[in-house]
Amino acid sequence: MRWVWTRETFLLFNTWFEPGWVRESTRIQDGIDCALCHFRQETPECPIHFSLLKSGEMPLNLELKNKVLRMIKHDTTSSAGLSEVNVALGEAFADAALQFCKNNKVNITSIDAIARPNHLTGGRIVASRTGVIIVFDFGISDQAAGHQGAPLTAFFDALLLHRPKKLRACQNIGGIANAAKSASISSMPSFERSPTSAGLPPRLQARRYAPIGAVDNVEEVFMCGRGAYNPNITDYIKEQLPSCKMFMLDDAGIPSGAKEAVTFAWQGMEALVGRSIPVPDRVETRRPYVLGKVSPGENYRDVMTRGMLFGHGQKQLDGGQVHGQLR
C-alpha cells in the first residue's frame, strides 16, 4: 500500500467459519478466504488505486470445525468452551495467513496489516503469531456508531458496480442473504434480507416471510456468496426477476469468493489512516466513524506512524464522502 507508505501489500483474511458467539452461530462453512490487496493514494484528495494481487481459500482444521458444530448442535456453549474455541480460531487464522503467504511466495514481513471482521479476541493471537498489526471487530464498531453492524460491504459494492445511468444490485447469498443497490455512491442502501444457508430449525425454515417483489427497476443483479453456486436458489431468483440480467460478481472483476475479504482489507486500510468508510444517505445516523479495533504487531509503530503522516497533519480526514475512485 503506497500512501506515504513504503510497503505495498495488505493482507486480509475473512472466514466463512465465523462463530460469533458460538451459540448463535449459523455461518459455518469449511474454509478461510484470503485476499492480498494493494492500495495506493498520494494524498487524501487523490483517487485510490486498488489491485487484488492474490486470493484463495485456506482449509479449516476438520477437528476444530466439528468441535464448533457440536457446540452449536447441542447448544452447549459455556464461557470455558467459548474461550477455548476463541484461542483455537485465532491460531487457525494465523496459520491461514502464514500459509497463504507461503503458498504465494509473499514474505509476511512485507505485509502492512491484516484485517478480519470477527469480534472475538483471536485477533490478538493473529498479531502475536504473525508479527503483523491486525484490525478487526468492525461490526461492533459500526453498532457503536448507531448503525446495524451488518452488512458492512455496501460501500465496496457501490464502488465496484456503480454506473451513472444504470441501476445495479449486489446480492450476497451467505448464511444470511443481504443486498445492496448501487444507484449512486452516496445513496447505497443495503439490508439483510433473509436466512439462506444458515442452520435453522424446520419450523422456521417452513415460514415464508415475503415473496420476492418489485426491485425498483434494477437492471442488473450481481450475485456472490456460497449460495450463489446453489442452482435451487439462483434459478428461483431468475424466475422471479425475469427482467433483470443476472451475473456472478466475477464478471465485474472481483472473484465472488474474495469480495468480503477485499472489503474488510479496505476497511482495515481506512482504519489505519484514521478515516471513516463512506456513509450512505439512508441509514440510522450519518455520523462518520472509524471502524475497527487495532491489535499491535511487531510493525505497529512503523505502520501507525505512516498512517498518521498520511493527510499531512490534518486533524480529521473526511469520512462523509467517497475517497477517490476504484481503479
- Asked if residues 34 and 52 have their Cβ atoms less than 8 Å apart, the reply is no
Domain co-membership, 163 together with 127: no
CA 240, 180, 284 angle in degrees (round to 5)?
125
Residues written for the chain: 327
Domain co-membership, 240 together with 196: yes
Domain co-membership, 162 together with 140: no
Q: Is the pLDDT of residue 184 over 70?
A: no
Domain co-membership, 131 together with 267: yes
CB-based burial label for 75 (10 Å; 0-12, 13-18, 19+): exposed
Q: What DSSP assignment string belongs to 118-180? A: --STHHHHHHHHH-S-EEE-HHHHHHHTTS-S----HHHHHHHH-BTTB-EEEEEESSEEEEE
13 pLDDT band, cuts 50/70/90, is: low
Q: Which of the two residues, 284 and 295, has the higher pLDDT score?
A: 295
Domain co-membership, 177 together with 138: no
| pTM exceeding 0.85 | no
Which long-range CB contacts under 8 A does 96-99 form with residues at least 24 apart?
96/13, 96/15, 96/32, 96/34, 96/58, 97/11, 97/13, 97/34, 97/126, 97/130, 97/132, 98/129, 98/130, 99/58
- Asked if residues 136 and 295 have their Cβ atoms less than 8 Å apart, the reply is yes
Contact residues for 79 (Cβ-Cβ < 8 A; gap 6+): none
Q: Is the pLDDT of residue 209 over 60?
A: no
Highest mean pLDDT among 131-140, 143-152, 275-284: 131-140
CA gap 29, 227 in Å, rounded: 11
Number of independent structural domains in the chain = 2
Pairing of strands 49-59, 31-40: antiparallel
Coil, strand, or helix at residue 224?
Answer: strand
Domain co-membership, 205 together with 246: yes
Which domain does 43 fall in, by range?
9-144+257-309
Tell me the pLDDT tens digit for each residue of 100-120.
999 999 999 999 999 987 666
Asked if the structure places residue 4 within a domain, the reply is: no
Computed over every residue of the chain, the mean pLDDT equals 74
The CATH number of the domain where 164 resides is what?
3.30.420.40
Tell me the pLDDT tens digit for each residue of 80-93.
777 888 888 889 89
Contact residues for 52 (Cβ-Cβ < 8 A; gap 6+): 35, 36, 37, 254, 255, 258, 262
Coil, strand, or helix at residue 49?
Answer: strand
Domain co-membership, 274 together with 245: no
User: Mean of the pLDDT values across residues 29-37?
Assistant: 82
